[in-house]
Structure formats: C-alpha cells, structure tokens
Amino acid sequence: MHKRFRFYQVIAIFFLLQFSACCKDNEENLSSTITDIDGNSYQAIKIGNKWWMAENLKTTKYNDGIAIPNVTDNTQWEGLTTGAYCWYNNDGSTYKDQYGALYNWHAISSKLCPIGWHVPADVEWKILEIELGMTPSDADSCDNRGTDQGLQLKVNGTSGFNGELAGARDVNDGFIHFSEYGYFWTSTTSVENTTWAYDRILSNTNSLVRRYPNDKKDGFSIRCVKD
C-alpha cells in the first residue's frame, strides 16, 4: 500500500512539473513589453520564432548607464566616429514618444538595447522578411525587394511590427524624409565598404522593403530583437 501511494505521488509530481513548465511557457509567450534603462516601455511582437520591438528605440543611455551623446550640431555630427543620437529636427518633445531617436551606426553595441536584446544583424532581418513571405533570393538581393512585406512591416501592417516612417539624419543633408521613409539600421557592415552598413528602408509610396548600405555616420531608427 505504501509503495502504491509513493507511485501515485511520483506521478502527481510529474504532472505538476509539466503543468508548471507549460504555464511558464505561456507566461513568456504572453509577455508583450520590455523596458530600457531610461524607463521607457516598448511593445514587443513575436514574428516567427523571434521577439521584435514593435516601437523605435528611444534610450539616451547604454544599458550599463553610460550616457549616449546627444549631438545637435550638424558639423559635429558629420565628424563623429563614436556613438551618438538625436531626435528628428532636434525636437524630442515632438518626436520622441512616437518615433524614437535616430542613432548613428557607431552607437550600435551589445549595450545599446535593453539587457537580453540586441540590434538585429542583416541576416536576422532576412529571416524576418522570409517569415513574412519574401523569397530567399529576394531577401539576399539589394534595393527594393519582395512583394508586400513593406506593407506588412509598416504601421497598421498585419505583422504588428509597426514600422514608423521617422525619416533620417543624413550625414550631408541633415534631417530628411520624415513621414516619407523609415530607415532602420542592422548591425552588419557592408561587404563593399567598411564605412557603410546595411539598413532596411520602408516607404510610404510602395509595399517593398529596401535593403541598402548607407554611411555609418547617418542617423537611423533602431529596432531591437530578443537574444
């Protein structure tokens, strides 16, 4: 009798552990927000097997607490080879909450995103695009690619990515293309020129996604992906 009781006790513990693991997984899948070191909260969305931020990064500090320089002067911005950020038109009160910050590529490091997240590499963007229906050959190409993946990634798109067309800070021309284009850095240096890095560009005039290398001194939006 005692052995039978212990047998059922073991079975009960086994199912309890299975139930706990299941609940833990469900709890993780329901998680939809992350917070950066500044206290900004972001919606997150799971696309395929990856969690992506569904808002543009707006932190003014690396995740170790070190401040990222806010550079407003165009001449100073042009000469940078270290990390910096700005708000579009240097106007954080208008653009910060919805559109986030614009970062030069030099700001990208393991400490830019919240702990446990990182700036996606070019290949991670390709995986995202293929998950949304782009062919692998299109994903590997440059310029405008795909069919309706850009439409899916933009605000109100079916993927939930909510890509804002926040414009950019061009190293030569200053602030450009607000509400016309959204520029998003990858962490991957161009194979053609080490002073450039790959990005993704969404447009308000078509439903494609542009993959193109741009000057690392440009200021673009950042989306983070979970490690």
Q: Same domain for 103 and 188?
A: yes
For the chain, what is the mean pLDDT?
90
Task: Check: CB of residue 170 under 8 Å from CB of residue 163.
Answer: no
Tell me the residue length of the chain: 227
**45-72 average pLDDT score:** 97
Tokens standing for residue 190: 């161009």
Percent of the chain with pLDDT over 70: 86
**Phi, psi of 77, rounded to the nearest 5 degrees:** -60, -40
Q: Which pLDDT band holds residue 2 (cuts at 50, 70, 90)?
A: low
pLDDT tens-digit readout, 140-172: 999 999 999 999 999 999 999 999 999 999 999
Tokens standing for residue 10: 């073991």
**What pTM was estimated for this model as a whole?**
0.87
DSSP characters for 139-194? HHS-EEESSSHHHHHBTT-TTS--B---BEEETTTEEE-TTTEEEEEEEEEPSS-T
pLDDT tens-digit readout, 123-135: 999 999 999 999 9
Task: Please state the domain count of the chain.
Answer: 2
Q: Same domain for 83 and 145?
A: yes
- 26 lies in which domain range? 1-30
Q: Same domain for 21 and 55?
A: no
Nearest to 211 by CA among 175, 177, 185, 172: 185
The answer to which of 13-27, 73-87, 104-118, 138-152 has the lowest mean pLDDT is 13-27
Q: Same domain for 68 and 17?
A: no
| Predicted pLDDT of residue 12 | 44
Q: Which pLDDT band holds residue 224 (cuts at 50, 70, 90)?
A: very high
For residue 82, pLDDT over 70 is answered with yes
For residue 3, pLDDT over 90 is answered with no
Q: Same domain for 174 and 163?
A: yes
Residue 127, helix vs strand vs coil: helix
Task: Check: CB of residue 209 under 8 Å from CB of residue 144.
Answer: yes
Place of tokens 């009781």: 5
Q: Same domain for 214 and 114?
A: yes
| Predicted pLDDT of residue 16 | 41
Q: Same domain for 20 and 51?
A: no
